Amino acid sequence: MDIKTVGVVGAGQMGNGIAHVFALAGYDVVLNDISVDALGRALALIAKNMDRQVSRDKISEADKAAALARISTTTTLTDLGQTDLIIEAATERETVKTAIFEDLQPHLKPETILTSNTSSISITRLASRTDRPEKFMGFHFMNPVPVMQLVELIRGIATDEPTYTALHKVVEKLGKTAASAEDFPAFIVNRILMPMINEAVYTLYEGVGNVKSIDESMKLGANHPMGPLELADFIGLDTCLAIMNVLHEGLADTKYRPCPLLTKYVEAGWLGRKTGRGFYDYRGEVPVPTR
């Protein structure tokens, strides 16, 4: 299938990045969100991020202008029905994702491919609740989307070969690298990354080290570009907790038990950078550890 038009559901951190890279690669993009303000912020952020690419000679001003012209926005979900490929990038809650696909279903073209940018939820289960499980896949981009080179392609049990092949070609056209993952909880990246972050929170919880010493140890001792607690704040502590819960419930192994301190931070609404506080307090000029 020749994919030319792409619908993106959700204009948040992941959705705007996905719209950005698809528009730059020559696809016509329809970006949807329930909030007009969120759509406005997304377009402004896309333009700002493209300006950064122009300043670094990654793209030209003409590339930027052409890409921005390819992005249209809508608060009406069903406007995405006539696109060739739909990428759901809404909040990491299965009930929300299922409702989106149910609302889209009557308005889709027969050949439209459905995908989810979920970082942990079963692709097979999401696909089974649509009318086209053979044309459904996990399409997991890394954050920040314009910078990160990897895309996880996850086949559900019913996904057919033409769908997989079509999406593999899309990843190549985006200039990114595809990694094929089986449909098990959290796939590859988060299956390895989230338990490490969770263990860092346990290390803090048990008083082995404070926020600064834990992050500095992993940056200087393991050559990580960001410490695990700093990275957790960047991802969002609510997202980290949701993925750990999926791992714990899906694999029934106590090694995936979310740290109580991670739960406590989420209950407090300290979700990281996006709320101004997490393992660091971001409300001043310089982030300050909260423990």
CB 215 within 8 A of CB 227: yes
| Main-chain dihedrals φ then ψ at residue 187, nearest 5 degrees | 60, -135
Q: What angle do CA 208, 201, 183 make, to 5 degrees?
A: 140
Q: What is the CB-side half-sphere exposure of residue 201 using CA atoms within 13 A?
A: 28
Question: Which two structure tokens, joined as six digits, stand for 129?
Answer: 């609740």
Domain spans in the chain, listed from the N-terminal domain onward: 5-181, 190-289
- Cα first-last separation, the chain: 52
Question: Which two structure tokens, joined as six digits, stand for 255?
Answer: 């090694």
CATH superfamily to which 190-289 belongs? N-(1-d-carboxylethyl)-l-norvaline Dehydrogenase; domain 2 (1.10.1040.10)
pLDDT value at position 93?
Answer: 87
Question: Which residues of the chain are under the pLDDT cut of 50?
Answer: none
pLDDT value at position 194?
Answer: 97
**CA-CA distance, 79 to 94, in Å (whole number)?**
22
pTM above 0.95, yes or no: no
Return the axis-axis angle of helices 237-251 and 189-205, rounded to nearest 10°: 110
Active site residues: 119, 140, 152, 190
**CA-CA distance, 151 to 142, in Å (whole number)?**
7
pLDDT value at position 1?
Answer: 75
pLDDT value at position 100?
Answer: 97
pLDDT value at position 120?
Answer: 85
pLDDT value at position 125?
Answer: 96
140, β-bridge pairs:
152
Question: Which two structure tokens, joined as six digits, stand for 183?
Answer: 């449909």
CATH superfamily to which 5-181 belongs? NAD(P)-binding Rossmann-like Domain (3.40.50.720)
Place of tokens 């696809």: 27
**CA-CA distance, 18 to 31, in Å (whole number)?**
10
| Main-chain dihedrals φ then ψ at residue 239, nearest 5 degrees | -65, -45
**CA-CA distance, 91 to 93, in Å (whole number)?**
6
User: What does the DSSP 8-state code read for residue 284?
Assistant: S
- Condensed to tens digits (0 to 9), the pLDDT of residues 84-132 reads 999 999 988 899 999 999 999 999 999 999 999 998 899 999 999 999 9
pLDDT value at position 63?
Answer: 97
pLDDT value at position 122?
Answer: 94
Q: Which amino acid is at 155?
A: R
Closest CA to 194 of 285, 126, 255, 261: 255
